[in-house]
Structure 1
Amino acid sequence: MRDFAGELEERKAAGLYRVRRQISGPQQPALVSDGAPLLSFCSNDYLGLASHPELTRVAAEAMSENGLGGAASHLICGHHDAHHQLEERLARFTQRSSALFFSTGYMANMGVISALAGRGDTIFSDRLNHASIIDGCILSRARVRRYPHGDTDALETMLKSTGGHKLVVTDGVFSMDGDVAPLRQLASLCKRHDALLVVDDAHGIGVLGPEGRGSLAEFGLTEEDVPVLVGTLGKAVGTSGAFVSGPGVLMDYLVQKARTYIYTTAMPPAIAAATCASLDLIEREQARRDHLQSLIRHFRQQASAMGYQLMASDTPIQPIMLGDNWTALALSGALEERGLLVTAIRPPTVPDGEARLRVTLSAAHTWDDLNQLLAGLDESRSLLAPAAEQAV
């Protein structure tokens, strides 16, 4: 039998062991974690909508009217009026022809990629794509070619030398680096080389673009430019689930072929209703995004002045690059002692030697919150080297 306990000990020795936190109460910057109050800078609730009273009110009313569970898959008897209304609302929000509501972003990527490519086809995937994209590529049984991160020249060389059906898939905003894919260039390449482009904008929807419509809208790209858009609803939107939007014929094809859509119970109708309310807030409350961008600019200026190595990101994802696992754990621990929750990100989530703290900012953070984080970072700089040496 495989030595599972031994493997766990190896992970601990390498600084790779992961522990779940127990959170009490609503998701918001001021959290209670394992019974202790902490100020969180590691959530993906970029607009601060996860605990918005309007969304909880709409969800409660919808539960009172429609019950809780989805009860069945969409193709049996689970496709509720609320799901249909959300899909129509998502199509309007993303300015696309049609949309499908999935249970999670992971399931959306798995289902979309494995439905749109198969044996004999070729998928071109950015080397830093999310695990759900990687697993969708594996599930498809297509040939997978990974191109260097954001390198459109390398991708074009690969596309030129490949025949048959081709699918290019990329994150819109990369979840660990916070940078945005070269979407205009990718769209142009795919048109020239007859490849189908799929963009997972999990971390762009709600944050980027006019009225928060995402990274594609930020660059003025339409359904014709990028046929398939995937987005999650549990991040900036503040609810749960995911969606795919694009031409009606492709959405119909996914209903027939996407296994993670066909063979799973539909999400609770109340979640769909709350998501419609969230999209209304996102469209009309530009002040949330304006405040968020101000926080991002100030954080980058101040953290850089302290000597911290940041990545080229103008999004709420602001990684502090540290290199080795123990240094990342040491800084995370020092901040937690000061009442700040910032998670250490280590391999395999990021490449070896690229451990970091993934600071994420939210429109729900106040200026006082941000100043508390910056003060903690300033106080913790001197602790990094000794802590790392002791751990080793």
Structure 2
Amino acid sequence: MYNLNEFPGREVKIGGKNYLYFGGTSYLGLQTNMAFQALYLENMKRYGTGYGASRKSNIKLSVYDEVEHYLAHIVGSEQCMTMSSGYLAGQLIYQFLCKNDHKLFYAPQTHSALSNEMTNKYATILAMITDLKKFPNQEKVILLDSIDFNGQHYPDYHWLTSIPLQHTTLVVDDSHGIGITGINGSGSYRFLQSLNPKNLVVSCSLGKGYGIGAGAIFGSSTMIERLRDTEMYGGSSPAAPAALATIKDAEHIIHEKQLVLQKNLTLFTKNVQLPSLFKFSTGHPTFSFQNEQLTLYLEKNGIIVTNFRYPTSNDAVMSRIVISALHTAEDILTLCDTINRFDPS
């Protein structure tokens, strides 16, 4: 573990040495983008650094409704509601489902934002499908992450397409998809809706694709209004209005970075010669692996990647190469050349 004194960009400095950095979740590199920061600062002057009042207060800021309509239009949902974090957004959905006594089925590795520490997640998709078939006409809820980092979900969701969903609510954490995957960063909502589930609810962090500290929930007008009527929503402080406003104001910057990211991703996939080392979702800029020797080899050759136990110290090591819009073509080719020289035996 290395401690830094500034936000990591395409490079990090450790022990006086510069390393190329292919980790983290700043997929578009917005957090350090000067034009994006300038818009954020202007919005801070207008809206302040934060807003501690309830969204149900008699004094309201119109920017919340404006940005929520904007995000709903991008994603393709009837409505959107924002929260102060993606984790809180997921917990709001989880508590709502628990209070309404829904039968919950958790796909393997579903993010803890949609559960609690006692939640039993299935070890395999097959095991979950087997249990689902025992309740053909009963109302049930399937919870999953859009990006599972093993390539089983996004972009095709093969196993979901084989299940009748007319009695099923889909709850999907699209934190690693919103702003990154789909047309204009729309994520998976439209595709999942095409599977005709009884209900569809998508939650996410806006910190990964959009570079700001906030979360969001997308769904039908009926579902979103029911979630707005909860104590958690009414009692919690909202996301900083300046942050949300910047998403809309920076549309041109975000679109430009989305194009750069896809160009970098294409360059990497065309030039890396050992794709069997990785598990990945086609079109997503993350490449997971479980070879500790590769991590050490990359670091020895001046490249740092994501490598830590997640979400607790008792869990398995998560090793991941992350391509971002910050990287130059030279960075990508250096990474590919280094990986291609690695001997996996």
Q: Shorter chain as normaliser: what TM range?
A: 0.7 to 0.9
Indicate whether 1:302 and 2:283 are aligned.
no
Amino acid paired to 1:338: N
Aligned partner of 2:288 in structure 1 is: 319
> Are residues 63 and 348 of structure 1, via their aligned partners in 2, closer, same or farther at CA, if it must alter by over 3 Å?
closer
Extract unaligned runs of 5+ from structure 2: none
- 2:171–2:202 CA contact under 8 A, matched in 1: yes
The residue type paired with residue 202 of structure 1 is S
The equivalent residue for 1:64 is 45
Instruction: Determine if contact 2:10/2:20 at 8 Å carries over to the other structure.
Output: yes
Partner of 2:320: 358
Q: 1:374 Cα deviation (Å)?
A: 3.2
Matched residue, 2:112? 131
The answer to whether structure 1 residue 291 and structure 2 residue 291 are counterparts is: no
Report if aligned partners of 2:28, 2:258 keep a CA contact under 8 Å in 1: no
> For residue 305 of structure 2, what is the aligned residue in structure 1?
342
- Which structure ranks higher in relative contact order (CA pairs < 8 Å, sequence separation ≥ 6)? 2
Given that 2:147 and 2:281 are in contact with CA atoms closer than 8 Å, whether structure 1 keeps it comes out as no
- 1:122–1:145: 8 Å Cα contact kept in structure 2? no
* Structure 2: distance between partners of 1:75 and 1:345: 40
Counterparts of 1:79-90 in structure 2, within 5 Å, are: 79-90=60-71
1:331–1:289 distance in 2 versus 1, CA, 3 Å? closer
| Secondary structure class of the residue paired with 1:96 | coil
Partner of 2:218: 245
Greater helix content: 1
User: What is the CA-CA distance between 1:367 and the residue it aligns to?
Assistant: 1.9
1:73 to 1:220, Cα distance in 2 relative to 1, 3 A: closer
**Cα drift, residue 290 of structure 1:** 3.1
- Residues 1:191 and 2:165 aligned together: yes
Question: CA separation in 2, counterparts of 1:264 and 1:115?
Answer: 15
1:170 aligns with one of 144, 156, 160:
144
Change (3 A) 1:77 1:359: farther
Cα shift readout 1:150-209 (whole Å, capped 9, x = no counterpart): 43x8426425337754211111111x43542554753673633x1211111111122221
5 Å matches for 1:180-219?
A: 180-181=153-154, 183=157, 186=160, 189=163, 191-192=165-166, 194-217=167-190, 219=191
- For the pair 1:121 / 2:102, whether they are aligned, the reply is yes
| 1:388 alignment partner in structure 2 | none
How far apart, in 1, do the equivalents of 2:174 and 2:164 lie?
18
Q: TM-score, normalised by structure 1?
A: 0.75
Q: Secondary structure at the match of 2:218?
A: strand
The CA distance in 2 between the partners of 1:47 and 1:285, in whole Å, is 6
Partner Cα distance (1:114, 1:145) in 2: 16
Q: 2:246 aligns with which of 274, 287, 297?
A: 274
Matched, 1:73 2:41: no
Q: Give the CA deviation at 1:356.
A: 5.1
Q: Alignment partner for residue 43 of structure 1, among 18, 21, 24?
A: 24
Compared CA separation, residues 258 and 38, structure 1 to 2 (3 A): farther
TM-score in terms of structure 2 length: 0.84
Aligned letter for 2:129?
L
For residue 117 of structure 1, give the secondary structure of its aligned residue in structure 2. Answer: helix
Q: Per-residue CA shift, 1:85-123, capped at 9, x if unaligned?
A: 211111111111111111111111111121133374310
CA RMSD after TM alignment: 3.3
Report the CA distance shift for 1:293/1:343 in structure 2 as closer, same or farther (over 3 A).
Answer: closer
Identify if the C-alpha distance between structure 1 residues 178 and 232 changes in structure 2 by more than 3 Å, giving closer, same or farther. farther
Which AA in structure 2 matches 1:339? G
1:5 maps to: none
Matched residue of 1:344: which SS?
A: strand
Q: Amino acid of the residue matched to residue 321 of structure 1?
A: Q
Greater Rg by CA: 1
Mapped to 2, the partners of 1:178 and 1:23 lie a distance apart of: 31
What corresponds to 1:369 in structure 2?
Answer: 331
Residue aligning to 1:14: none
1:210 positional shift: 1.7
For the 8 Å contact 1:223–1:246, the answer to whether it is kept is: no
Match of 1:236 among 193, 209, 215: 209
* Kept in 2: contact 1:71–1:266 (CA 8 A): yes
SS of equivalent to 1:221:
helix
Distance change >3 Å, CA 37–CA 345, structure 1 → 2 = same
- Residues 1:37 and 1:130: Cα distance change in structure 2 (over 3 Å): same
